[in-house]
């Protein structure tokens, strides 16, 4: 039952994510991304981490995607025209070629890294209680992972400042 549910959620997540980049209409991409996030939340539930699953839905599927949706809706992004036939994107402009090489490199790197450390590394020190208990997650964030937590918030602040600078560039 659990295995069936895992494959169902995993298949939905992968297929929806692939469809996200294949849509002509940005609205449809946003909706498919929400479906993908929902399937990820289902996977977290299967891992006995209901709190992470609910947070995933509230933060990603709920808050962040609503913002995406607003931007897409208000900017009224036009439909993307399909590329003219006979033009292979892999042989397209230099940017695309570099991108393709980089993504292949990343995939190879990830496969190599995962193969070296093995899957078991991720479950070290993780117990069922430490992912399902809200109190343990809370104390974990503010004690053991305090530095990573604070560093992430600084990172988000930098990204926010960057967005403001980029958006207001013409006024300076």
Partner 1 sequence: MLNWLPPPEIIAQLGLIFVIFNMLVLSAAFMVWMERKVCAYIQDRSGPNRVGFEGVLQPFADVIKLLFKEQLKPKAADTVLFAIAPIVSTAAAFAAFSVVPFGTETTLFGLLDRPIPLEITDVNVAVLVIFAITSMGIYGIVLAGWSSNSKYSLLGGLRSSAQMISYELSYGLAMAAVIMMAGSLSLREIVTNQSGYWLGFIPRWYILLQPLGFFIYLTAGVAETNRAPFDFPEAEQELVAGYHTEYSSMSFAMFFLAEYVNMVTVSAVATSLYLGGWLGPFLPDWLGWIWFLVKVFLILFFYVWMRWTLPRYRYDQLMEFGWKWLLPLAVLNLFVTAAVVLLVG
Q: Are 34 and 65 in contact (CB under 8 A)?
A: yes
CB 133 → partner 1: shortest distance, Å?
Answer: 8
Residue 8's region, left for phi above 0, alpha for psi from -120 to 50, else beta, is alpha
Q: How far is CA 97 from CA 23, 84, 92, 106, in A?
A: 22, 18, 7, 14
Shortest gap between Cβ of 76 and partner 1 (angstroms)? 10
Q: Which is nearer to partner 1, 6 or 51 (CB)?
A: 51
Q: Which is nearer to partner 1, 18 or 111 (CB)?
A: 18
What is the smallest separation between the CB atom of 147 and partner 1, expressed in angstroms? 25
List residues near partner 1 by CB under 8 A: 25, 27-28, 31, 34, 50-51, 54-55, 57-58, 61-63, 66, 69-70, 73-74, 132, 134
- Closest approach of Cβ 17 to partner 1, in Å? 18
Among residues 58 and 159, whose Cβ is nearest to partner 1? 58
Q: How far apart are the first and last CA of the chain?
A: 60
Contacts for 10 with CB less than 8 Å, ≥ 6 apart: 39, 43
């Amino acid at each position: 039952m659990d295995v069936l549910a895992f494959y169902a959620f995993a298949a939905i997540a992968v297929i929806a994510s692939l469809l996200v980049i294949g849509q002509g209409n940005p609205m449809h991409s946003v909706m498919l991304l929400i479906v993908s996030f929902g399937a990820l939340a289902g996977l977290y539930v299967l891992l006995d981490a209901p709190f992470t699953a609910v947070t995933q839905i509230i933060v990603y599927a709920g808050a962040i995607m609503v913002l995406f949706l607003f931007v897409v809706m208000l900017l009224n992004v036009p439909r993307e025209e399909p590329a003219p036939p006979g033009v292979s994107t892999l042989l397209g402009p230099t940017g695309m070629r570099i991108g393709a090489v980089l993504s292949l490199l990343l995939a190879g790197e990830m496969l190599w890294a995962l193969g070296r450390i093995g899957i078991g590394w991720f479950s070290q020190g993780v117990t069922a209680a430490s992912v399902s208990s809200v109190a343990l997650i809370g104390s974990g964030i503010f004690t053991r992972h305090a530095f990573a937590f604070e560093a992430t918030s600084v990172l988000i602040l930098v990204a926010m400042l960057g967005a403001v600078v980029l958006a207001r560039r013409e006024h300076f």
